[in-house]
Structure 1
């Protein structure tokens, strides 16, 4: 079927059959019958093959070229990459693979529909072709991801790729007019180099993917070059995720509780629940390392539920032992608060352990207020009506809008320890801390300073009028079993008598 002369072959075979039949001892000659048959079969065979090869060419073109963007398809760009690697190996050249991922494309798809999203992708592809040098090869990997391949000449290096990356980001990030809608979208770029960081197509694309992920983590609308350390870190992150899931299933995590202190009386007025993890393989893993990984992988959801339940269990055990328990603060991630079942599950746990909501304080970061302000505001109001205290955590490091303090039912503002750490030596940090405290007091909010480690910091914070502090100057985070013997908790219980 692959031979384009098949119709001629069919004709001559049938005609030959007629010639042979002509010499057979028949009463009449069938040559004319076979001749007509040969012509008819030849005509229809040619027609069929013409249609067959037309369909075959169309399918081949669809495999090679993406219909939506007009760029090479995922399959074909991978073939092009493999061929370029062979060419660069033979010519001792370097090759750059640039993975381009659009920022917040899903938001546009959700807001305006997939048809608008598809048209936007086609426009992005056009700009990508325009801005890339003629020798570059561009393809569409699917979703909101593109791949650009560029074999470097001997006089080209990393600086040329930096220039190209910046130019792509600049052109892609300009406004688009799609069906009378003005749309804005940015992009992040990850770059991996052959032969340093990938000897085949799969390895090079995997490393470029890791680099674009790092670019997004760095704030998006930027570029990042893959290096060897990134691969090691990625492998460690994967291991941390795997071990964290196992630790959660096997109850290998611990909750510690750090006292919060009234800066005037130095009495304990609350505690913060803090996760601690000492893994058999990884050793002691800092929350600063495993919490972001938990948020990125979705482990934060079951982890958050575990923290709430363990906290309530401890409260119940302390109460049975006759220990006066101050309010306990729990950090909540944006992923937790976005879940529609967050509050029902919380209420179920409060009822299960018979915990007074006034013993609970929820700490949220400013980012959730930016991402989903309307639904978040309603959730916070519902929790406040139940008697749960609310605090903005790490204030000053995020988007810091005064409207959050004015319009939402917060009780506390928690100043990030980055400011407290340098408050004595850095006048700008001291001024900002003072301003935050003054602003919060004018809005009838109390201020918590975390990370207090010295008397000099404490003196300044008292001078500024800060209400509550926490840090190693007062107490480290305590295990649940040792809490009853802590001097601050002992003093708290003596006051209650």
Structure 2
């Protein structure tokens, strides 16, 4: 996960003195390139990074990212926020003793020549302590938070582009742990980066060679006593890494611009499977395909779905598109329009992670959603926290009042099953009922009871253990 945190940590490197006056001296040539008044510009910064990397010295590069500044602009206005950034910049210059470059927007970079990682971490902690206090501009106080990424040189980066990428990853890692945090790009973060790069390179090969393994997660209807629905799932085997599931490689595909290829491939495979189920006369409700919000907002998404429906003659209601609740916060207007267009095409709409807090009940009332899926966290809480039961009960009753189908995802124990049945949740999905199954088994599982499918599902469970 890399070295990260906020409070001072007892590492040997941190015991080293700061020697701020001597060690913090900026690169001698930096002032020769000028200072724009906002800490230098992007070109100057990149030039100095390249010089630092190709020189004989060592040090640490530190990146600062000021969070939630769009909201600050809305609350205080542009002029106020520009003055705030100037004050932050002056503070960072004074605290680091170096030139601080305003790289872009609310991102600042400084080069700590001659500093060790331990010294840089101590400095980051002191800076974050300042961000836990308010800033006063024109007599008005405000609070803003900062994430810091650090990367030592020489080391992992061979050029400015790589170094900037590593700093971004460190800032992202810091943000994962809360507000006002720092993270160091170290061997663990570098291993994570190399893993992502390997997966990204393999995605296109897997698509071209049809090497993505297609599987489905069946959903059980406790009232009817059989599997009635399924959700598409895919994974791939990457050399030197092993099996990688869609939960890991889909975000990578989003970052690398491969998401359209990945999810249109998934959409077509689901359409093909629905056509096959129809040909065999299998009884089922629908087959769902999870779709990234990055793909949903693409201009041709609805047209592509419509062409698939027509190409494979998919009956109304048999194809389901699953959208994560957090997607409603990304481009809400566009996504709501797309959802309405999909509804008109006869596509069932499933809202995943219902109850996660990204949207309220009132928001769901406005959406053409047919089915809700519990946030998986609720299933975990049912095992250990009795206080979670009334929350689950309320959500189940709310979905019923709204006339929405509700699926409980991640059901793994008899206790979870008993509580869900007590509150009237009849659609359940999870390892208690079935592991993910290969495409060729889906037709033989849908419409069947747990008893009828026990032998084949037990075999799949054993395979997954190997």
Moved more, 261-270 or 119-128: 119-128
Return the alpha-carbon distance in structure 1 between the equivalents of residues 127 and 288 of structure 2. Answer: 48
Counterpart in the other structure of 2:440? 481
Counterpart in the other structure of 2:339? 380
Counterpart in the other structure of 1:161? 124
Q: Deviations over 1:297-349 (max 9, x none)?
A: 22222211111111111222233334334311111111011112111111111
Determine if contact 1:189/1:212 at 8 Å carries over to the other structure.
yes
Paired residues for 1:37-436 under 5 Å:
64-65=33-34, 67=36, 69-71=38-40, 74-75=43-44, 78-79=47-48, 82=51, 95-103=59-67, 124-132=85-93, 133=95, 135-142=97-104, 145-150=107-112, 152=115, 156=119, 158-167=121-130, 187-193=146-152, 207-216=166-175, 222-436=181-395
Counterpart in the other structure of 1:46? none
Find the residue that maps to 1:285 and give its secondary structure.
strand
Number of matched residues? 417
Residues 438 and 272 of structure 1: CA distance in aligned 2, closer, same or farther (over 3 Å): same
Return the alpha-carbon distance in structure 1 between the equivalents of residues 338 and 203 of structure 2. Answer: 29
Greater gyration radius:
1
Find the residue that maps to 1:69 and give its secondary structure.
coil
Counterpart in the other structure of 1:43? none
Moved more, 143-152 or 398-407: 143-152
Q: Structure 1 length as normaliser, TM-score?
A: 0.72
Determine if contact 1:82/1:200 at 8 Å carries over to the other structure.
no
Counterpart in the other structure of 1:8? none
Q: Deviations over 1:190-214 (max 9, x none)?
A: 1124577779978765543331233
Determine if contact 1:169/1:187 at 8 Å carries over to the other structure.
no
Q: Deviations over 1:10-58 (max 9, x none)?
A: xxxxxxxxxxxxxxxxxxxxxxxxxxxxxxxxxxxxxxxxxxxxxxxxx
Return the alpha-carbon distance in structure 1 between the equivalents of residues 370 and 118 of structure 2. Answer: 61
Counterpart in the other structure of 1:453? 412
Find the residue that maps to 2:382 and give its secondary structure.
coil
Q: Deviations over 1:436-481 (max 9, x none)?
A: 1122222222211011122221111000111310112222222121
Residues 120 and 389 of structure 1: CA distance in aligned 2, closer, same or farther (over 3 Å): same
Q: CA deviation at 1:276?
A: 2.3
Residues 82 and 448 of structure 1: CA distance in aligned 2, closer, same or farther (over 3 Å): same
Counterpart in the other structure of 1:441? 400
Residues 362 and 221 of structure 1: CA distance in aligned 2, closer, same or farther (over 3 Å): farther
Find the residue that maps to 1:427 and give its secondary structure.
coil
Q: CA deviation at 1:139?
A: 1.8
Residues 352 and 187 of structure 1: CA distance in aligned 2, closer, same or farther (over 3 Å): farther
Return the alpha-carbon distance in structure 2 between the equivalents of residues 274 and 261 of structure 1. Answer: 17
Q: Deviations over 1:53-112 (max 9, x none)?
A: xxxxxxx999813547353654367438856997965xxxxx432112455779999x9x
Q: CA deviation at 1:424?
A: 2.8
Return the alpha-carbon distance in structure 2 between the equivalents of residues 482 and 315 of structure 1. Answer: 13
Q: Identify which of structures 1 and 2 has the higher relative contact order when contacts are C-alpha pairs closer than 8 Å and 6+ apart.
A: 2
Return the alpha-carbon distance in structure 2 between the equivalents of residues 345 and 80 of structure 1. Answer: 45
Find the residue that maps to 1:423 and give its secondary structure.
helix
Q: Which runs of 5+ in 2 are unaligned?
A: 1-28, 453-466
Residues 209 and 409 of structure 1: CA distance in aligned 2, closer, same or farther (over 3 Å): closer
Determine if contact 1:64/1:76 at 8 Å carries over to the other structure.
no
User: Of Structure 1 and Structure 2, which has the larger fraction of its residues in helix?
Assistant: 1
Q: Deviations over 1:210-249 (max 9, x none)?
A: 3123335557764322221000100101111111121112
Return the alpha-carbon distance in structure 1 between the equivalents of residues 109 and 143 of structure 2. Answer: 21
Return the alpha-carbon distance in structure 2 between the equivalents of residues 205 and 194 of structure 1. Answer: 12
Moved more, 312-321 or 157-166: 157-166
Alpha-carbon RMSD across the aligned residues, in angstroms, is: 3.9
Return the alpha-carbon distance in structure 1 between the equivalents of residues 96 and 374 of structure 2. Answer: 52
Determine if contact 2:150/2:167 at 8 Å carries over to the other structure.
yes
Q: Which runs of 5+ in 1 are unaligned?
A: 1-59, 90-94, 178-182
Return the alpha-carbon distance in structure 1 between the equivalents of residues 369 and 160 of structure 2. Answer: 52
